[in-house]
């Protein structure tokens, strides 16, 4: 029983500022200026009974940071939580940036919707980690956009 996830009524306090998100319906019209910005692409997959996550962080200049790791067994995890873990990992290990734009790219629409409006659902711990990392960057004047 200790392996079960506790789902709380609220993921975040109602007054917490939400992450700016862009869906496919308005991605072109609200595309941020990415010159000199930080871009993060994340992904997850389930194969051979395990869930793996990975991503690439592109910093200004020709600098690419790649990461990948196994999130857990498929019986205990799913690609949705894997994508949240990848986002949390990438954002938590960003250096403190000053007045820049960070664009988080994902192909998982559920992740974008969850970050836009966290609800009483699985993955709350990962969403809180993402919001803690976002708040740290916001305090430095950096904006985070999820696409």
pLDDT tens for 98-142 read 888 999 999 999 999 999 988 888 889 999 999 999 999 998 888
Any idea which architecture 29-146 has in CATH? 2-Layer Sandwich (3.30)
H or E, element range at 129: helix 124-138
Q: How many CB atoms lie within 10 A of CB 43?
A: 18
Region of poorest pLDDT, from 16-30, 46-60, 88-102, 125-139? 16-30
d(C-alpha 41, C-alpha 56), whole Å: 5
Compute and round to an integer the Cα radius of gyration of the chain.
15
pLDDT of residue 43: 96
| Average pLDDT in the chain | 86
- Structure-token pair, residue 76: 């205990």
d(C-alpha 13, C-alpha 112), whole Å: 19
Average pLDDT over residues 64-78: 94
């Amino acid at each position: 029983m200790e392996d079960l996830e506790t789902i709380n009524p609220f993921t975040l306090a109602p007054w917490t500022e939400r992450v700016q998100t862009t869906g496919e319906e308005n991605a072109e019209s609200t595309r941020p200026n990415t010159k000199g910005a930080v871009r993060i692409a994340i992904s997850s997959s389930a194969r051979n009974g395990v869930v793996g996550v990975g991503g690439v962080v592109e910093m200004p200049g020709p600098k690419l940071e790649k990461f990948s790791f196994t999130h857990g067994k498929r019986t205990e995890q799913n690609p949705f939580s894997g994508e949240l873990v990848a986002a949390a990992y990438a954002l938590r290990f960003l250096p403190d940036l000053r007045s820049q734009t960070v664009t988080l790219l994902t192909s998982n629409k559920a992740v974008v919707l969850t970050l836009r409006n966290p609800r009483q659902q699985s993955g709350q711990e990962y969403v809180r980690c993402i919001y803690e990392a976002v708040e740290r960057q916001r305090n430095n004047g950096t904006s985070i956009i999820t696409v």
